[in-house]
Amino acid sequence: MAMISYAQNGEDVLLRRLLGIDRPGFYIDVGAAHPVYDSVTKFFALHHWRGINIEPLPGMYELLCRDRPNDINLNIALSRESGRLSFYEVPSCDGWSTLSAPLARKLRAAGREVVERTLAVRTLAEVCAEHVRQEIDFLKIDVEEHEAEVIAGGDWRRWRPRVVLVEATAQNSQTPNHETWEPLLLTADYQFATFDGLNRYYVRAEDRDLLPRLAVPPNVFDDFVPIRHVERVQELEKQLRATQEHLAALEQAWNASRLQLTGCQAEMEHWRQEANRQQQQLTATAAELNAARQRLTGIERTLESAWSCLPHRLVRRARGLLRGARAG
């Protein structure tokens, strides 16, 4: 069965190729956002991996808690030092919310609504010290131009994820911005592996043998399909089933109407035959009546001839009787 990819740019496809899924692994997702759509970790969570999801937006954090009850979900942000910082929410696009004041000013200048609030922040090293009890297979960082501060807050000698992928372009653009933070990873003895147009991937020196697996982007040989394609097919299948059910109902109604029509036609034929029989009987009765009238006319003529020989009193009486016979 093809892999279902939940990530926006095939990141989970590359990570599966790199790390496999034949064992439960561990991840850290900084800037986790939605637990399903555009999620780098959803595929691995479905295959019994566990990890830490760090998400400062309350709405997204609640979704993560419901979808990932076995993960560690933290409603905080990360920076180079712990404390409190201004966080800039962008209601029209949650994914653009940021700790970067320059980016917030740019968004406001572009006409975007930006809501500022104070947020608790910790360091990556502190989070790892508190929650990590096993090897970290991969670390993903997507924090809208606050990447350098997150990386600076890590203890890269003690906590060494096998793979690190970091969003490496300015927000909503193709402009690279990795020059501000890449030296921190290279100094920590991580080797650049690949750039997928959005993220840059790094492999720790201890796992440099993994580098060739990232030489090419996600492709047909990775045997994957994006979740939105799967959901579209499922929606079309749902519509097809509904259409088939509607068609079956129409066919049932049509068959019932056809049976009713057949019954009506049989009843109509019965009454047509009955009408023909009654018409034939009426015609026969009319013929008998005409014959009787003709016989009566003959009798009248015979009587008129006979009356001429009878007394006047008897003629009146006979004519009265004749009128009564006509009326009957």
Q: What is the residue-averaged pLDDT of the chain? A: 91
Same domain, 167 and 286: no
Q: Does residue 228 belong to any structural domain of this protein? A: no
β partners of residue 139: 28, 164
**Residue 322 clears pLDDT 70, i.e. is over it:** no
Do 25 and 61 sit in the same domain of this protein? yes
Q: Which of the pair, 325 or 33, is modelled with greater confidence?
A: 33
Are residues 131 and 166 both part of a single domain?
yes
Residue 104 confidence (pLDDT): 86
Looking at the structure, tell me whether residues 209 and 250 fall in a common domain.
no
Tell whether 48 and 77 lie within a shared domain.
Answer: yes
Percent residues over pLDDT 70 in the chain: 94
pLDDT tens column, 140-166: 999 988 999 999 999 999 999 999 999
What is the pLDDT, as a whole number, of residue 85?
A: 93
pLDDT tens digits for 222-253? 999 999 999 999 999 999 999 999 999 999 99
What is the structure's pLDDT at 153? Answer: 97
Q: Answer yes or no: do 189 and 244 share one domain.
A: no
Residues 6+ positions from 2 with CB-CB distance below 8 Å: 223, 224, 225
Q: Which of 70, 19, 16, 9 minimizes the C-alpha distance to 43?
A: 16
Number of structural domains the chain divides into: 2
| In-domain check, residue 232 | no
Give the range among 35-39, 71-75, 322-326 with minimum mean pLDDT.
322-326
Percent above pLDDT 90 for the chain: 67
Query: What are 260-287's pLDDT values in tens digits?
Result: 998 999 889 899 998 899 999 888 888 8
Say yes or no: 112 and 214 in one domain: yes
Angle between helices 312-327 and 227-307 (to 10 degrees): 170
**Residue 289, pLDDT score:** 86
Same-domain status, 168 and 53: yes
210 and 275 belong to one structural domain: no
Give the residue-averaged pLDDT of 107-118. Answer: 87
* Count of CB atoms situated within 10 Å of the CB of 100: 19
- Other beta carbons within 10 Å of 86: 13
Among residues 222, 252, 277, the one where a domain terminates is 222
Task: Establish if 227 belongs to a structural domain.
Answer: no
Top mean-pLDDT range of 47-61, 78-92, 313-327: 47-61
pLDDT at residue 254 in the model = 92
Quick one: pLDDT at residue 327? 64
15 and 45: one domain?
A: yes
What single letter denotes the amino acid at residue 139?
Answer: L
Q: Are residues 17 and 68 in the same domain?
A: yes
Give the residue from 195, 99, 94 showing the smallest Cα distance to 145. 99
Residue type, 286: A
Partners of 28 in beta bridges = 52, 139
pLDDT band at 133 (very low <50, low <70, confident <90, very high): very high
The tokens of 294 are what? 């003709």
Residue 309 lies in a domain: yes
Structure-model confidence comparison of residues 326 and 233, the more confident one = 233
pTM: 0.76
Alpha helix (H) ranges present in the chain? 11-19, 42-46, 58-67, 101-109, 124-131, 147-152, 182-187, 227-307, 312-327
Q: Where in the sequence is the domain holding 253, given as residue range(s)?
A: 237-327
Instruction: Mark whether 133 and 218 lie in a shared domain.
Output: yes
Last residue in a domain, options 165, 188, 222: 222
DSSP 221-235: GG-EEEHHHHHHHHH
Q: Is the pLDDT of residue 188 over 90?
A: yes
Q: What is the CATH number of the domain that holds 117?
A: 3.40.50
pLDDT of residue 102: 87
